[in-house]
Amino acid sequence: MRKGIFNRKTNAVRAVDGVSFTVAKGETLGIVGESGCGKSTTARLLVGLEGIDAGDLIFDGDRLGVDLSLKDLWDGVQMVFQDSYASLNPRLTIEETIAFGPKMRGVAADEARRLAHELLGRVGLAPARFAGRYPHELSGGQRQRVNIARSLAMKPRLIILDEAVSALDKSVEAQVLNLLRELKDEFGLTYVFISHDLNVVRYVSDRIMVMYLGEVVEIGPVAAVWEKRAHPYTAALFAAMPSMDPDNRTEVPPLAGDPPNPIDPPSGCRFHTRCSFAEPVCGKTRPKSVAVDGAADHDAACHMLDPISGHSKSAGGSRLEAAE
Amino acid sequence: MSTTVDTKVPAVPARPAAEQAPAQSKGYWQGVGARLSRDPVAMVCAGLLTLLLAAVVFAPLLPLADPFTGSMISRLKPIGTEGHILGTDELGRDMLARLIYGGRLTLMLGLLPVIFAFLIGTFLGVLAGYVGGWLNTVIMRTVDVFFAFPSILLAIAISGALGAGIVNSLVSLTIVFIPPITRVAESVTASVRSLEYVDAARISGARALTVVRVHVLGNVMSPIFVYATSLTSVSMILAAGLSFLGLGVKPPQPEWGLMLNTLRTAIYIDPVLAALPGAMIFLTSLCLNLLSDGLRSAMNIKD
């Protein structure tokens, strides 16, 4: 298992062991990366579904396990899961599914039912027609709307969306994304939005965090990351995006090979085994997270950005050419 | 008339695909019942079993001969003899009466151990599967020890140790069926446990017991139940086997296994008569197996 030292401040997370991030109230943080890079584990850590081996999770200034019980955490943080089918109990009607959480909090059955109907209406499913249905009678997009309604029923302030739209087809995906945006404004929510789809992340996020093998390689405002691609992995990830422009197609895969085994990650910079700029220093020392172009909110962990790392390209605050 | 415009109209209307579905769905068990009733094989088996069960339960009310009174002069009468439709056994007792009264014990020994084992095995398996960790190891490795013995050998060994008798047979058969039911319960619970709706229920702050009751039990019950149904016929055959070996029911009590044993000597005189108790065991367990097959497909909610 990956270990990370979490340290969240006012709706924020800061880690010391490579996974270091904060989420400010009201923003959307997008997390991207290949399969198996630890996105989902991070999500499950954030809602307390996985135990944290070392470090802290601080929500609104309260430290989990010290000032904050799991139950308190779940009052403020909820999650929308990836698999819309597996995340709904096939034996419960969707009304029962949505009302379950509030009932567990002591809301009267009638009131919970009323709330379920209201939220169903809000996510675009007419309660009169849908409340009594079972999950297998709904389409994928409808089920994901139910999932969203269920998390809203807990009146959270932070919602973790783990690949929430990845399994939907493009037109439905767009509808659900728009719904999420509306709900965010309406309920004053904060999102952590996890996806492997860079376009989707760009569309919904204020800031973006790129993960590789359980570590944060780059984090910053969407526009800055999109433009600079300071870390070679970020550059490769963006270059792997299919282009709409036929003249701009990549013929050569920007990343060779599969990611290394996360149980036994490479020494030094975890990306050095696949990085075209790798030098001996990359295999030896772990890169520090440094500000990109002196911007306070844009960090990347690469020796080439660190003037004292000893990497030949590091002198003079170099910037990478995108996707070499 | 004032019209308030709802500014929070959903951005996207409901998709039309689902509009054809009924507004209110039927309950789960209604659906299972409806699907089962469309399965002719299962319905025939259910009918036969109901008939047998009714005959067995109301045996004292039926116009039957006394199953314990024999007659030395009318021994081993063939099937179709006047007054004895199914003939008589080696002591001249009416076969029909003995088969029906024998069904009482045989069915009881078939059903009760499975019911007890179902309750205990489901409890142990769900506990092991949901809690996991060392508790899972303790429960499942203990269960594994029982798997080292073939079930018939285990039943004989336990019955032999406890001594002959109906209650001891019940106990030994229950012990025999707990391990396989526990194992099935554990594996389905572990797979349901990893589904996201259980995670979602956990992060709603519900207590573990509530999560298990509402979200786990309902989804693991049907596979365990179907499996247990298929064990009923095994239990019946094992019970008959124990009686056959003299470890279960004692003569002169009628019981199919025991009857098969005592009639064995008559197999050269009237093989059809001697095979009757065996035919009853065969027919009953076949019906139970086919019914459990039907249940299995009827309980598949996705169809």
The reply to whether residue B19 touches residue A79, judged by beta carbons under 8 angstroms, is no
Closest partner CB to A86 (pick from B12, B15, B195): B195
Distance from CA of A199 to the nearest CA of B (A): 21
Q: Is the pLDDT of residue B303 over 50?
A: no
DSSP secondary structure letters along A50-64? S--SSS--EETTEEB
pLDDT tens figures, A17-74: 557 677 888 889 999 888 777 788 888 888 888 777 767 788 887 888 788 888 888 8
H/E segment holding residue B122: helix B95-131
Q: For residue B27, what pLDDT band results from cuts at 50, 70 and 90?
A: low
**pLDDT at A22 (0 to 100):** 79
Residue of chain A minimizing CA distance to B23: A129
Q: Flag whether pLDDT at B279 surpasses 80.
A: yes
- By Cβ distance, the residue of B15, B204, B206 closest to A139 is B15
Whether residue A113 contacts residue B239, with contact meaning beta carbons closer than 8 Å, is answered with no
Going B40 to B46 to B47 to B49, the CA torsion angle's sign is positive
Q: Do B197 and A121 touch (CB under 8 A)?
A: no
Q: What is the pTM of this model?
A: 0.76
The pLDDT of residue A249 is 64
A277 touches chain B (CB under 8 A): no
The distance of B293 to chain A (nearest Cα, Å) reads: 21
Written as six digits, the tokens of A221 are: 């405002």
Residues of B in contact with A88 (CB under 8 A): 197
Reported as a pLDDT band with limits 50, 70 and 90, residue B301 is: low
Query: Which pLDDT score is estimated for A262?
Result: 65
Alpha carbon A256 to chain centroid, angstroms: 25
Distance from the Cα of residue B83 to its chain's centroid: 35
* Candidate from A48, A100, A122 with C-beta closest to B201: A100
pLDDT at position A198 is 87
Distance CA A30, CA A203 (A): 10
* pLDDT < 70 positions in chain A: 1-18, 20, 54, 243-244, 246, 248-254, 256, 261-263, 314-324
Report phi then psi at A220, rounded to 5: 175, 180
Q: Which domains does chain A have, with CATH numbers?
A: 28-205 (3.40.50.300), 228-305 (no CATH)
Chain-chain contact of A133 with B21 (C-beta, under 8 angstroms):
yes
Alpha-carbon distance of B255 to B183, in angstroms, equals: 31
> Is A130 an interface residue toward B (CB < 8 Å)?
yes
CB contacts of B17 in chain A (<8 Å) are 139
What's the burial of B89, exposed, middle or buried (CB within 10 Å: 0-12/13-18/19+)?
buried
Determine contact: A3 vs chain B, CB below 8 A: no
pLDDT at A114: 93
Where does the pLDDT of residue B5 fall: very low under 50, low under 70, confident under 90, or very high at 90 and above?
very low
Q: Is A212 on the interface with B (CB under 8 A)?
A: no
Alpha carbon separation from A70 to A45, A49, A230, B10 (Å, rounded): 11, 9, 37, 33
Spell out a b/e string for A234-256, using b for 16 or more CB atoms within 10 Å of the CB, else e.
Answer: bbbbbbeeeeeeeeeeeeeebbe
Residue A219, beta-bridge partner list: A209, A299
Six token digits for residue A134: 């079972």
- The answer to whether A133 contacts chain B (CB < 8 Å) is yes
Question: Is the pLDDT at B18 greater than 60, yes or no?
Answer: no
pLDDT for A284 equals 84
What average pLDDT does chain B have?
A: 83
| Better pLDDT: B13 or A28 | A28
Chain B residue with CA closest to A70: the answer is: B205
At B21 the pLDDT is: 41
Q: Which domains does chain B have, with CATH numbers?
A: 33-64+86-298 (1.10.3720.10)
Q: Tell me the two tokens of residue B151.
A: 């079930």
Task: Say which residue, B18 or B155, is predicted with more confidence.
Answer: B155
Locate tokens 């012990």: which residue?
Answer: B175
- Between A62 and B135, whose confidence is greater? B135
Neighbours of B120 (CB within 10 A): 16
Report the distance separating Cα A258 and Cα A197, nearest Å: 18
B195 vs A contacts (CB less than 8 Å): 86-87
DSSP assignments along B150-202, one per residue:
-HHHHHHHHHHHH-SSHHHHHHHHHHHHHHHHHHHHHHHHHHHHTSHHHHHHH
User: Which residue from A195, A322, A214 is spatially nearest to A259, judged by alpha carbons?
Assistant: A214
In this prediction, residues B105-118 reach a mean pLDDT of 91
Q: Quote the pLDDT of residue A99.
A: 92
